[in-house]
Amino acid sequence: MLLLLYICFKKVHKLEGHENEVKSCAYSVSGRFLATASRDKSVWVWQVDEDEDFDVCSILQGHTADVKFVVWHPTDDILVSGGYDCSIHFYCFDGDDFVTIQKIEAAHDSTVWSAAFDHSGKYLVTVGADKFLKIWQQKWAESLQERSWAKLLELELDTRWPLYAVDWNHLTGHIAVSGGDGKVRIFNFDFDSESLTKSGSFTVEDEVNSLRWHPTIPQLLSVSCDDGFIHLLTHDC
């Protein structure tokens, strides 16, 4: 039996400023900031005040092509963006504005489509049109502006299609990745040895655009596809 739950929403704000399609948006873990990314090559950060009003905090224009995603660090107000220019950018709040703390040129050989942090924020995984999965390790510093990331490992997947989506399970450490071939691959990252091993795979009917692990049910993964369906998958972790 299919149970449909209807929840009533109403529009409370309409944020304007981007000159082209907005491709991604994400709230910071603190809830103080909303980041948006656009085909106009910019990343905007909006600050949320106590009355739930949104003011433009920063307009970041370091990318030279479409920005495909923004993702926040799980514990700090550190923002990451990536896109068509093959680079990933890291930003942090300096008290007045968001500033770029690191720019990794040619992070992938083609479009960087998606990224996700592990539960601690020490590691970042990225995937791209070059069919590579890459993990970046944080070089910790007390000051957010002095932190940086370096490539820890990379793995070329056995596919001729781009990788569009990746998510890191904060409960189990598993990484799910998929893309144009409709195959969802599950990897296990060993935090002690800092190594990556494949632990399973699923095949869905069409190209995968996005996937997300459930935040409290460790085995449940939702996958959105070009066939118009949302596939709910379970993995024996």
Q: Return the pLDDT at 13.
A: 76
Place of tokens 């007045």: 96
pTM reported for the whole predicted model: 0.92
Of 174 and 10, more confident:
174
Q: Return the pLDDT at 1.
A: 46
Residue 99 phi/psi, 5° resolution? -125, 150
pLDDT, tens digit, 9 for 90 and up, residues 126-154: 999 999 999 999 999 999 999 999 999 99
Q: Which of 207, 202, 200 is nearest to 229 (CA)?
A: 207
Q: Return the pLDDT at 73.
A: 98
Q: What is the DSSP letter of 144?
A: G
pLDDT bracket for residue 35 (50, 70, 90): very high
pLDDT, tens digit, 9 for 90 and up, residues 64-106: 999 999 999 999 999 999 999 999 999 999 999 999 999 999 9
Written as one string, the DSSP assignment of 178-220 is EETT-EEEEEEEETTTTEEEEEEEEE-SS-EEEEEE-SS-TTE
The answer on pLDDT for 3 being more than 80 is no
Q: Taking the domain 21-119+149-156, which CATH number applies?
A: 2.130.10.10
Written as six digits, the tokens of 199 are 């632990």
Q: Which of 117, 214, 200 is nearest to 166 (CA)?
A: 117
**pLDDT over 90 percentage in the chain:** 84
* Structural domain boundaries in the chain: 21-119+149-156, 159-237
The answer on pLDDT for 220 being more than 60 is yes
Contacts of 70 (CB under 8 A, 6+ apart): 24, 25, 26, 35, 36, 37, 43, 79, 80, 81
